[in-house]
């Protein structure tokens, strides 16, 4: 009877210890309690009971000593770039603990290379998707000096991080333009002196000056004829039109098609800043979701306008988007969409003339490496042969769409996901060098 009472008492103590959050019982304490219960089978109940009481007393002392909250310091930026590893450091300090284990939990859209360590955590965090995401508190486990009790804490408060597209890659492309990697007339940010609209300075009137150049207020102040001097305008409008419909939700490599498109949008906007052009953006699906008109030094505004967009399971209304952009000043318009779906591409083909009658238009799309791999890889079985046939049909339909788009006067930009930004920048610079815009 006494042995049963002892076993029940030890089990009750164990359950209570495990249920009192945030206090927990270590493996060592559980092992000692089981050993105390086993003593009842080989010795007297009194000795087993005393041993159990001693273990529980030591557990209580250990829990009391280690009860103080640890000092936790977490260092990480609140702004991340998608796919770019960023330093994450966590340091802890506790006056009486035997050991402090640190764990950084994250959601599915964030990846921590090493999520758990002792005392300190020095690792990197990578964002898989754009948008705003909470970073949960750091979880700590404080083991008492006797390693019998442990306390579970969450320190400090949650932090929200903002994840932008791959801005470092966009800035590298802009820097390469500044250093002359793309050597062509498109890099000229200011035109020659002449009858332009870009005001340069005021000078004395010359006999060959147009009377419309006379600056009458300056003439009145100086007492002699003065003329305005202008430069031929070189800056242009660049508009990125981004499809956020169902086609852009398809995964490609380590991102979605929309992720690749927004990385390219950021690169084009930063290069436009470098060249003195005005950049704008329009994002659409069945409705216009974001619209930012072209502006000088507009790259930051463009990125902030679209960084948190996610694709929606609806068809894109190309005609609505193109009408919204088509009535503005002549610009170089880059349409980011997907051409794999022939039915959806037919709507694009019908709407493209709305843009091409006034603007220079480029259609940018990711090339799917998986489809190419299916055609180039030797088949291992019958299923591989069927997959290759389907891939060939899909690519054949895409090629028909591409041919029709080229006949309509648009420029096609196709590249792998990690090369799409550079390809779009090259198309943009080529359009400027050929005076298409």
Residue 188 has pLDDT above 50, yes or no: no
**What number of CA atoms fall less than 13 Å from residue 31's CA on the CB side?**
5
Distance CA 329, CA 342 (A): 31
Walk across the sheet containing 79-81 and list its strands.
79-81, 159-164, 131-135
Alpha-carbon distances, residue 55 vs 11, 13, 64, 100, 363 (angstroms): 13, 11, 14, 22, 73
Global pTM reads: 0.78
pLDDT for the residue numbered 44:
75
Cβ burial, residue 183 (10 Å; 0-12/13-18/19+):
exposed
- pLDDT band of residue 168 (cuts 50, 70, 90) is very high
Residues forming a β-bridge with 411: 362
Which pLDDT value is given to residue 265? 97
Q: Write down the pLDDT at residue 190.
A: 52
- The 10s digit of each residue's pLDDT in 147-161 is 888 888 887 778 899
The answer to whether residues 427 and 411 touch, using CB atoms and an 8 Å cutoff, is yes
Helix (H) / strand (E) element for 272: namely helix 257-275
Q: What are the pLDDT digits (tens) for 209-255?
A: 888 888 999 999 998 999 988 765 567 899 999 999 998 998 888 89
- Looking at the chain, the whole-number percentage of residues with pLDDT higher than 90 is 35
What confidence score (pLDDT) does residue 197 get? Answer: 57
Read off the pLDDT of each residue in 273-295 and give the average, rounded to a whole number.
93
pLDDT at 266: 96
**pLDDT value at position 304?**
95
- The answer to whether domain 71-164 has CATH 3.80.10.10 is no
The whole-number average pLDDT for the span 371-388 is 80
- pLDDT band per the 50, 70, 90 thresholds, residue 294: very high
Q: Taking all residues of the chain, what is their mean pLDDT, rounded to a whole number? A: 84
Close Cβ partners of 234 (under 8 Å, ≥ 6 residues apart): 188, 189, 190, 191, 198, 276
Residue 193 confidence (pLDDT) above 60: no
Place of tokens 């008109």: 293
Query: Looking at residue 79, what is its pLDDT?
Result: 93
CA distance 26 to 59: 9
The more confident residue out of 192 and 230 is 230
Distance CA 260, CA 272 (A): 19
Strand, helix or coil at 161?
strand
Dihedral over alpha carbons 77, 279, 287, 420 (to 10 degrees): -70
pLDDT at residue 369 tops 90 = no
Cβ proximity of 408 and 361 under 8 Å: no
| Unique residue bearing structure tokens 């105390």 | 36
The token pair at 420 is: 């799409």
**Which of 238, 436, 434, 236 shows the shortest CA–CA distance to 333?**
238
pLDDT of residue 183: 47
Burial class (CB in 10 A: 0-12, 13-18, 19+), 230: middle
pLDDT band at 307 (very low <50, low <70, confident <90, very high): very high
List, for residues 92-131, the tens digit of each pLDDT value: 888 888 888 898 888 888 999 886 777 788 899 999 999 9
Burial 115-125 (b: 16+ CB within 10 A, else e): bebebebebeb
Using CB atoms within 10 A of its CB, is residue 217 exposed (0-12), middle (13-18) or buried (19+)? exposed
Beta strands in 179-320 (DSSP E): 193-204, 226-231, 237-243, 251-252, 255-256, 278-284, 288-296
b/e burial code for range 25-34 (CB count within 10 A of at least 16 → b): bbebbeebbe
Reported as a pLDDT band with limits 50, 70 and 90, residue 15 is: low
Sign of CA dihedral 11, 15, 16, 18: positive
Q: Which pLDDT score, from 0 to 100, does residue 281 have?
A: 96
Angle, helix 318-326 to helix 342-351, in steps of 10 degrees: 30
Tell me which CATH code domain 167-186+235-433 carries.
3.40.50.410
Q: Which of 264, 259, 263, 328 shows the shortest CA–CA distance to 292?
A: 328
Q: Domains of the chain: which residue ranges?
A: 2-65, 71-164, 167-186+235-433, 190-231
* Of the candidates 92, 82, 157, the residue with the CA atom closest to the CA atom of residue 125: 82
SS3 category, 240: strand
């Amino acid at each position: 009877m006494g042995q049963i009472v002892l076993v029940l008492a030890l089990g009750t103590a164990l359950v209570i210890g495990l249920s009192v959050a945030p206090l927990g019982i270590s493996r060592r304490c559980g092992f000692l309690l089981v050993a105390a219960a086993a003593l009842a089978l080989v010795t007297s109940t009194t000795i087993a009971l005393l041993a159990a009481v001693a273990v529980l007393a030591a557990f209580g002392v250990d829990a009391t000593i280690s009860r103080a909250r640890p000092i936790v310091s977490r260092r990480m930026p609140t702004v991340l770039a998608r796919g770019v590893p960023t330093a994450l450091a966590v340091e802890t300090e506790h006056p009486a603990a035997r050991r402090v284990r640190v764990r950084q939990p994250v959601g599915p859209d964030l990846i921590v290379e090493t999520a758990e360590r002792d005392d300190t955590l020095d690792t990197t965090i990578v964002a898989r998707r754009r948008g705003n995401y909470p970073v949960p508190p750091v979880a700590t486990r404080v083991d008492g000096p006797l390693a019998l009790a442990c306390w579970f804490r969450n320190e400090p408060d949650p932090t929200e991080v903002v994840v932008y597209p791959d801005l470092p890659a966009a800035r590298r492309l802009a820097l390469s333009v500044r250093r002359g990697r793309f050597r062509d007339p498109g890099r000229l940010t200011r035109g020659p002196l002449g009858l332009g609209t870009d005001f340069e300075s005021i000078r004395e009137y010359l006999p060959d000056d147009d009377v419309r150049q006379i600056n009458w207020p300056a003439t009145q102040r100086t007492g002699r004829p003065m003329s305005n001097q202008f430069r031929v305008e070189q800056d242009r409008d660049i508009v990125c039109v981004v499809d956020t419909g169902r086609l852009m939700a398809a995964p490609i490599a380590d991102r979605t098609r929309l992720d690749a498109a927004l990385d390219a949008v950021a690169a084009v906007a930063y290069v436009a800043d470098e060249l003195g052009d005005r950049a704008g953006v329009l994002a659409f699906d069945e409705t216009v979701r974001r619209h930012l008109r072209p502006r000088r030094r507009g790259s930051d505004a463009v990125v902030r306008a679209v960084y948190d967009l996610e694709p929606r399971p609806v068809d894109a209304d190309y005609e609505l988007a193109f009408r919204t952009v088509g009535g503005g000043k002549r610009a170089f318009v880059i349409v980011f969409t997907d051409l794999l779906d022939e039915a959806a591409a037919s709507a694009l083909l019908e709407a493209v003339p709305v843009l091409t009658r006034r603007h220079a238009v480029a259609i940018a799309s990711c090339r799917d490496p998986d489809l190419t791999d299916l055609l180039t890889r030797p088949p291992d079985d019958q299923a591989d042969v069927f997959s290759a046939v389907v891939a060939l049909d899909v690519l054949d339909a895409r090629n028909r769409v591409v041919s029709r788009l080229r006949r309509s006067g648009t420029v096609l930009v196709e590249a792998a996901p990690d090369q799409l930004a550079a390809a779009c920048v090259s198309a943009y610079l080529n359009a400027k060098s050929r005076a298409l815009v």
